[in-house]
Amino acid sequence: MKHLFVKHLFIRYLGLAAILTLSSASFGGGLSPLIDDFSDASNNNLGIPRQFLNDTLAGGNTTTAQAVVQGIINAKGEIIPPRGQPGWASMILPLDSQSLPKDASAFEGVRLLIKINSGSMSISANSTEITNFDYHAAPITVMADGKFHEVKIPFAAMKRAWSEQTPLNTKTINSLSIVAFGLQKSAFDFAVDEVSFY
């Protein structure tokens, strides 16, 4: 009789553990690898609106235009840099609606399905530990052949541009940025099908 009672308690414990595990996975216990497949016109797959910024904040005249069509975001424009500075246009994919840090340490890096028709591009992992906007970034290089390419960029390959080289703390990332940039007036044109961790 005692054996049956213990067995019954153990089965109930297993059921409770399974429910808690599912709840944790469903309600933010872990960061989903898929960040954006552009199935929504304005929000990423975490339900957070994408953001777009360019160098007009710093005195530049860069122009940008974006459109989501059939699960692909197309972005194009013209880099017109501020005097003595690089020009840039950035698409930001937040990981948290309040800009709080998320733990991405379970992943090795960032995966993109991207087509670059023209321009220079980079991807950055934006950590809340970085306060001077010199986030850890890496160039995105693919052939301009009109086709989408899978690009995997390890976190370890991301470097800061002008600051001391510090390791990226993958437990403090709050967004990813895809950035078109140039040192002089130039056009950019790219499309992204998917952004995820891997």
Tens digit of each residue's pLDDT (9 = 90 or more) over 177-195: 999 999 999 999 999 999 9
Does residue 191 contact residue 148 with C-beta atoms inside 8 Å? yes
Domain identity same for 18 and 36:
no
Q: Which two tokens stand for residue 94?
A: 């937040």
Give the three-state DSSP class for 193.
strand
pLDDT (0 to 100) of residue 180:
98
Query: Residues 104, 53: one domain?
Result: yes
At 92-107, the pLDDT tens digits run 999 999 999 999 999 9
More confident residue, 9 or 92: 92
Question: Cα–chain-centroid distance for residue 155?
Answer: 12
- pLDDT (0 to 100) of residue 28: 38
Residues 180 and 193 in one domain: yes
Q: How far is CA 50 from the centre of its chain?
A: 10
Q: Is the pLDDT of residue 175 over 90?
A: yes
> In the prediction, which pLDDT does 30 show?
74
- Total number of domains constituting the chain: 2
Q: Which domain holds residue 1?
A: 1-30
Same domain, residue pair 99 and 1 = no
- Which pLDDT tens digit goes with each residue over 58-98? 999 999 999 999 999 999 999 999 999 999 999 999 999 99
Q: Specify whether 102 is located in the same domain as 114.
A: yes
The answer on 132 and 108 residing in a single domain is yes
Do residues 37 and 18 both lie within one domain?
no
Are residues 176 and 93 in contact, defined by beta-carbon separation less than 8 angstroms?
A: yes
Same domain flag for 131 and 102: yes
